[in-house]
Amino acid sequence: MKSYFDYKEHVLPNGLNLITVKKNTNFTSVQIGLKVGALYETLNEKGLSHLIEHMLFKGTNKRTNHNINDDLEERAGSYDAYTNYSSTVLAITALKDEFENSMELLSDMIMNSTFPKDELEKEKKVVISEIKSSLDDVEEYSFRKINSIAFKDHPLRYDILGTKKNINKFSRKDIIKFYNKYYVPNNCVVSVASPYSHEEAKAMVEKYFGIWKEGNSIKSPLFAEKNKPTKKISYKDNISQNTLIFLYTFHNLTRREELVLETLNYKFGESANSILFKCLREDNGFSYDVYSEVDTTKSIKTLCIYTTASDSDIVDAQKVIEKSITDIKNGTIVFDEKTINHMKKLVKTSLLSLVEDCGGLAHFLLTQRIMEHSIESFEEELKILDEITKEEFLHVANKVFNNPTIHTLMSK
């Protein structure tokens, strides 16, 4: 592992998980991840994780929202915050001299937020505006729609942003109750990539996060659900292009098989010269947007295919996708040695490029830990990539590409 990056893992006395990376760089990246997102919310809580992420910027015991924004800008680097289904993340990447300032600021936001009532009412309006904007985004709307069709009970049925009804009803009391449950050190991962030694980085984290009191242990509500095999057409006003999505789940794959699937997906629909791109766009001119994506997050495990087409082409576009999948499964599309080596090279390039970037490496390690993937397996997975055979591609394709949920969104 040392040949790729020099890292250590630590668990602080309060249960906080810490990953430190010593790297020859002029930057530091501090990434804080809480294991809470839309997957963890009950129906009445849908949208709370995302709203709390917004509210972390609205004031602490010693900072107003303006102070927070000014202090973030003063770091003169990049900062980010997001909520997805499995986590809430805040991060700063800046010059190495900003290490302590970044750590102090993030710890204050995460540990000492006050959720001022007047700011909450304003931020509710912002989130509702965000929900409305997502409804106007045809691609985003289409993914929300297929998730609601594909699953009966799984949290993927519901959008990360929540609903307008929920957002309007959330009180400051609701926020604090949810915050106190999940925003605890034993539910937190901190990843630091910097030129400082492991001991120095650890000491800095302990200085600012060591006083954070451990919370109650949280039983994960996560569960797996297979997609419902069905085909459905729905309609929406004022869209100029129809969309088509296929969704598959793959909860029965080993980690090795997931790597095979991720590698196959580069050639199938992720790269600019993919099978889907060639069949749908270059050969038939059906679509401008064509791609497939794989999500290996625990309890999610989905592969989605997305494209657009006109009224006259949408049916034929579906047939082309189905034929491409059949051709892969029965071996009609043959992956020769040159193609397989290129696929492996693409995945390796993607993985190793993370090691070169300070922020990318810190984020990769953070998400590996949150997703409960082994960091130690990084080197092993690179070796597996060298070993993958065309027979494994065929085997995994036949395990995954079965019983899809298919949704077509048409203009009224």
Task: Sketch out the chain's domains with CATH numbers.
Answer: 6-209 (3.30.830.10), 230-411 (3.30.830.10)
Query: What pLDDT sits at residue 1?
Result: 47
pTM of the model: 0.92
Query: What pLDDT sits at residue 10?
Result: 95
Residue 384 has which token pair?
């597996």
Closest of 106, 81, 77 to residue 94, by C-alpha:
77
Query: What pLDDT sits at residue 375?
Result: 83
pLDDT < 50: residue spans in the chain:
1
Query: What pLDDT sits at residue 324?
Result: 96
C-alpha span between 264 and 267 (Å, rounded)? 6
Query: What pLDDT sits at residue 79?
Result: 93
Residues paired with 410 in a beta bridge:
235
DSSP string, 275-340: HHIIIIIITT---S-EEEEEE--TTT-EEEEEEEE-TTTHHHHHHHHHHHHHHHHTTSS---HHHH
- Side-chain-side CA neighbours of 270 within 13 Å: the count stands at 16
Query: What pLDDT sits at residue 35?
Result: 95
Query: What pLDDT sits at residue 110?
Result: 97
Query: What pLDDT sits at residue 2?
Result: 56
Residue 69 has which token pair?
């924004």
